[in-house]
Each structure stands twice: as structure tokens, then as C-alpha cells.
């Protein structure tokens, strides 16, 4: 009856389940999910289903018998967009997280078909509360320091409901889980006594405005949960300003001569026969220019070999790089990010700067991300304590408004390399950046 009333008045973008008391209850929800998805399909929407499998209580009471667990496995979980069990519920559903003694996680068919999963770790011991997440976008451990409070009633519901709200707003599953982690941690910090016993958490709207709520995300392939949230920081970058991204040593020389002091050499083809020569020449040019800092895009081994003092990596590069070798060599590290989960992964590594974008649409690469715009750029510069660089689609006409958001730098490509007078463009961009900063 509740679902019928809501469907007629406010068709949902997401549904979150709570305690389902019987197989009949579960089947009613499944039928309605199918019906709502069918009615939303012509508009190109898919109603998200977040399953919070409440199979038992923290006191040890069992809410689901074998028949109900089987109905979850056969009927509800194959329909799920996201499933958020705690460790005990996950084991009853036949899923193990990366911390289990048997090693690699067990991935059932319903999860491999495209659903997302977060096995929450709030009930475990340890300094960190670590959730094992498995999504189409990212896999690994999402971690924050454990909140020491006895007022924790409603933690799992707050987590699942926050994730459902994020999915309803259009966030991908990995981003939804980061936001849910932030919201739940903040709610735990504001838990309160409602009587003589343990009280409830208190969800507050400003959860995303506090750095202490931003979790870290481990790299793919990390099986054990982290023992500490923070890594040793990379070498700090100096003032970044206008950040020229060019594809040859000749262009490096040209922009340095024009007054640009932050340059990235970006040669995407690793088989280019002159790649090493371009890197070596660019490193020498930067060394001869007071105040210059050069970042080599992608090719971190050659950057180390040629003595470069900076490397810039995309998210796809992080699973194949020796980060400790870069850190031990004193190399500055810049990382590209486009979403909450990518920032969480970058933040875990404590890089020299974090690039956030795309600020605007760009033609420089195939771009699966929605442009973040100035509001998100201003949000990240206000939240993160490391320098933030705005990337993508920035030209002379956008430079001042980008700089006005508080960024440490703004990356440009075609605004320089496609300009009729690149040297004049460099001067124009630098002047616009300073105007925006003021």
C-alpha cells in the first residue's frame, strides 16, 4: 500500500529496503521494483534498489530464517543496484570481504552481474572503520578513523539511506558509497543519548564540508584492510599558477621562455622512439630555469631515470606504478581526479597536488565525466589541504574565473599550443590568473 501511494504521487528514483519480515514482503518489493523500472524505462531512467539486508540485530536476535535468506539470494539481490550488509550479514549471503581468512573475496553471480557491494566494518575492532567496496568503478577498502561513541543506533540505516539518496541524485555507486561513509561518520560524531542506554546517530546536512569525514580508498588489488589511514606525503609543489601541458621538448622550451613556470610533458604514445630524448631534454630545460617545475605525464620509470622532479598520473596508472620508488626519490606527484571516489583514492596517497576536473567540456580526450563546473572546483579547493589544479576546457576567457575559485593552478593545452601567438597567449593567461586570484 505504501509503494502504491508513492508510485502514484512521487515515483522514486531510488528505493532502500530495511527489515523485511517475510518472503511475501520481499516478493512484494521485488514486484514493485520491476513495475517502477518498467514505467521509468521510456524516460531513460532506472530506479536504483539499495538493499540493506537486516538479517539480525546487534543484540544477537535473528530476523531472517533460511527461507528468507534464500529469497534474498534468488530474487532480491539479482535486482539490486547496491547491497550494504555488515560482516555477519555478508557471510549469511555467501560473500566474504578482503579481510576474511580465506583470502580473495568470494564474488557470487548476482554481484558479478553488475551490482555494487559495501561490506561495512563498523562492528569490527581497530583504529579504523574499514568498509570493503566492490563497484563497477572501484574496488578496495574505504577507511576512516573509528568514532568512539556508544550512541550508534541507526548507523547501518543511515549509511544505506545516504547511498540511496546519492544514487537518486545521479552519483555512481562508488561516489555514493564515499558520500554515505562521510554522512554516517558525521552522524556518529553527533550521536546523542535518548534515554539511559545507547542512543541514536544524528544525520546532519553539513557532513560533506568537513575534511575529517573524507575517507581514503585503497588501490585495486589491496586485500588486507589498511592499518593506518595516511601515507607519507610526497614532496610539496611550489606555486603552480598557469600550468602548461605540452607534447614535446621544443614546446617545453617555448613556454618556459614565455614565463610559464609549471609545465607537464604529455606524450601519450609509450612507443614513440624519441620519448626518452624529449624527457631528458625537458628535464635539462627545467633545471636551467629558476623556479620551473616539470611534471612527466605517465612515464614514471623514464622520469626517474632522467632525473625529473615531478610525475603526473591518471587514475588508471595508479595500479601499475611503484609509488614508494617515487616517494623515496623525492619526486613530486600530481594526480588527476574526476569524482568523489577518485579524490578519496588520491587523498590516501597524500600527493603534491590533486587535479580536479573536467571544469569545462574539452576536446583533448574522450571524456566520460560530466563537467564539474566552478562550484565543485571551489568545493574541492576549500576542502582539500593540498594544492588543487583545475583541468580541462580552460582558455584565456575562463582563466580568471577558474583562478577566483582558489585553485593553486590551472592546466591549459590548446589555449597555448593552438594560439596564433603562443607567447602572447602565455602572458595573457598569466595576467588572467593573477586577476582571478585577486
pLDDT value of residue 383? 97
- H or E segment and range at residue 67: helix 66-71
pLDDT value of residue 58? 64
pLDDT value of residue 101? 39
Which has more pLDDT, 369 or 86?
A: 86
Cβ-count burial of 368 within 10 angstroms (0-12 exposed, 13-18 middle, 19+ buried)? exposed
- pLDDT at position 341 over 70: yes
Cα 174 → chain centroid: 7
Beta bridge partners of 310: 332
Answer yes or no: are the C-beta atoms of 177 and 142 closer than 8 Å. Answer: yes
Mean pLDDT check: name the lowest of 6-10, 198-202, 253-257: 6-10
Mean pLDDT across the stretch 2-19?
A: 88
Could you give the CA distance from residue 397 to residue 429 in angstroms, rounded to a whole number? 9
pLDDT value of residue 364? 56
Mean pLDDT across the stretch 151-161?
A: 94
Q: How confident is the model at residue 24 (pLDDT cuts 50, 70, 90)?
A: very high
pLDDT tens digits, 179-188: 999 999 999 9
Helical ranges in 288-360 per DSSP H = 300-305, 323-328, 340-349
Mention every residue, 6+ apart, whose C-beta is less than 8 A from residue 335.
312, 313, 314, 315, 318, 346, 349, 351, 353, 354, 355
| Nearest CA among 70, 164, 157, 81 for reference residue 120 | 157
pLDDT tens digits, 242-260: 999 999 999 999 999 999 9
Q: Over the Cα atoms of the chain, what is R_g?
A: 24
Could you give the CA distance from residue 118 to residue 124 in angstroms, rounded to a whole number? 14
Beta bridge partners of 409: 241, 389
Answer yes or no: are the C-beta atoms of 360 and 395 closer than 8 Å. Answer: no
Q: How confident is the model at residue 336 (pLDDT cuts 50, 70, 90)?
A: very high
Q: Chain-wide mean pLDDT for the chain?
A: 91
Which cell goes with 384? Answer: 582539500
φ, ψ at 130 (rounded to 5°)? -115, 125
Mean pLDDT across the stretch 295-301?
A: 97
- pLDDT at position 333 over 90: yes
* Cβ atoms < 10 Å from Cβ of 415: 25
Which has more pLDDT, 370 or 160?
A: 160
With H, G, I as helix, E, B as strand and everything else as coil, classify residue 423. helix
Mean pLDDT across the stretch 227-237?
A: 87
Percent of the chain with pLDDT over 90: 75
With H, G, I as helix, E, B as strand and everything else as coil, classify residue 158. helix
The number of CA neighbours under 13 Å toward the Cβ of 427 is 5
Q: How confident is the model at residue 366 (pLDDT cuts 50, 70, 90)?
A: low
φ, ψ at 99 (rounded to 5°)? -90, -5
pLDDT value of residue 379? 97
* Cβ atoms < 10 Å from Cβ of 91: 16
Cα 267 → chain centroid: 26
Which has more pLDDT, 11 or 426?
A: 426
Q: How confident is the model at residue 104 (pLDDT cuts 50, 70, 90)?
A: low
Mention every residue, 6+ apart, whose C-beta is less than 8 A from residue 300.
311, 313, 317, 321, 322, 326
Chain position carrying cell 593573477: 434
pLDDT value of residue 186? 98
Mean pLDDT across the stretch 221-228?
A: 81
Could you give the CA distance from residue 141 to residue 10 in angstroms, rounded to a whole number? 35
Mean pLDDT across the stretch 305-334?
A: 95
- pLDDT at position 100 over 50: no
Percent of the chain with pLDDT over 70: 95
Answer yes or no: are the C-beta atoms of 427 and 259 closer than 8 Å. Answer: yes
Which cell goes with 157? Answer: 540505516
pLDDT value of residue 372? 84
Ranges of beta strands (E only) in 238-290 are: 241-246, 262-265
Q: Mean pLDDT: which of 110-124, 213-227, 266-280 is highest?
A: 266-280
Helices (H) and strands (E) in the chain, counts: 16, 15
pLDDT value of residue 365? 56
pLDDT value of residue 228? 78
- pLDDT at position 99 over 70: no
Which has more pLDDT, 100 or 361?
A: 361
- pLDDT at position 59 over 70: no
Could you give the CA distance from residue 400 to residue 397 in angstroms, rounded to a whole number? 7
| Nearest CA among 339, 337, 341 for reference residue 315 | 337
- pLDDT at position 44 over 80: no
3-state helix, strand, coil in the chain (%, to 5): 40, 15, 40
- pLDDT at position 15 over 90: yes
* Cβ atoms < 10 Å from Cβ of 154: 18
Amino acid at each position: 500500500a505504501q509503494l502504491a501511494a508513492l508510485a502514484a504521487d512521487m515515483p522514486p528514483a531510488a528505493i532502500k529496503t530495511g527489515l523485511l519480515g517475510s518472503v511475501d514482503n520481499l516478493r512484494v518489493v521485488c514486484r514493485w521494483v520491476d513495475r517502477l523500472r518498467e514505467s521509468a524505462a521510456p524516460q531513460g531512467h532506472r530506479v536504483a534498489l539499495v538493499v540493506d539486508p537486516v538479517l539480525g540485530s546487534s543484540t544477537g536476535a535473528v530476523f531472517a530464517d533460511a527461507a528468507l535468506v534464500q529469497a534474498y539470494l534468488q530474487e532480491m539481490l539479482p535486482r539490486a543496484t547496491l547491497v550494504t550488509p555488515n560482516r555477519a550479514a555478508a557471510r549469511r549471503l555467501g560473500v566474504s570481504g578482503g579481510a576474511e581468512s580465506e583470502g580473495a573475496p568470494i564474488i557470487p553471480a548476482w554481484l558479478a552481474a553488475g551490482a555494487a557491494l559495501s561490506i561495512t566494518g563498523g562492528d569490527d575492532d581497530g583504529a579504523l572503520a574499514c568498509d570493503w567496496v566492490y563497484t563497477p568503478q572501484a574496488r578496495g577498502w574505504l577507511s576512516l578513523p573509528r568514532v568512539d561513541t556508544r550512541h550508534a543506533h541507526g548507523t547501518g540505516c543511515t549509511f544505506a539511506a545516504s547511498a540511496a539518496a546519492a544514487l537518486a541524485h545521479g552519483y555512481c555507486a562508488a561516489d555514493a558509497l564515499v558520500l554515505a561513509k562521510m554522512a554516517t561518520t558525521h552522524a556518529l560524531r553527533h550521536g546523542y543519548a535518548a534515554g539511559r542506554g545507547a542512543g541514536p546517530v544524528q544525520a546532519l546536512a553539513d557532513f560533506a564540508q568537513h575534511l575529517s569525514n573524507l575517507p581514503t580508498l585503497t588501490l585495486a588489488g589491496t586485500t588486507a584492510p589498511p592499518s593506518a589511514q595516511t601515507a607519507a606525503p610526497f614532496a610539496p609543489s611550489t606555486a603552480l599558477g598557469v600550468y602548461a601541458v605540452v607534447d614535446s621538448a621544443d614546446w617545453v622550451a617555448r613556454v618556459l621562455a614565455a614565463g610559464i613556470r609549471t609545465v607537464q610533458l604529455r606524450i601519450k604514445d609509450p612507443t614513440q622512439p624519441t620519448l626518452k630524448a624529449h624527457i631528458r631534454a625537458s628535464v635539462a630545460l627545467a633545471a636551467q630555469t629558476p623556479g620551473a617545475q616539470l611534471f612527466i605525464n605517465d612515464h614514471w620509470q623514464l622520469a626517474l631515470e632522467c632525473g625529473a622532479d615531478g610525475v603526473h598520473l591518471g587514475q588508471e596508472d595508479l595500479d601499475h606504478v611503484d609509488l614508494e620508488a617515487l616517494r623515496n626519490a623525492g619526486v613530486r606527484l600530481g594526480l588527476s581526479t574526476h569524482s568523489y571516489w577518485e579524490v578519496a583514492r588520491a587523498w590516501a596517497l597524500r600527493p603534491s597536488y590533486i587535479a580536479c576536473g573536467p571544469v569545462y567540456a574539452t576536446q583533448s580526450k574522450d571524456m566520460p565525466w560530466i563537467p564539474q563546473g566552478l562550484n565543485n572546483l571551489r568545493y574541492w579547493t576549500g576542502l582539500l589541504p593540498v594544492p588543487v589544479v583545475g583541468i580541462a576546457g580552460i582558455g584565456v576567457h575562463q582563466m580568471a574565473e577558474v583562478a577566483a575559485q582558489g585553485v593553486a593552478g590551472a592546466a591549459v593545452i590548446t589555449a597555448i599550443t593552438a594560439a596564433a601567438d603562443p607567447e602572447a597567449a602565455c602572458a595573457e593567461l598569466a595576467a588572467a590568473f593573477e586577476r582571478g586570484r585577486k
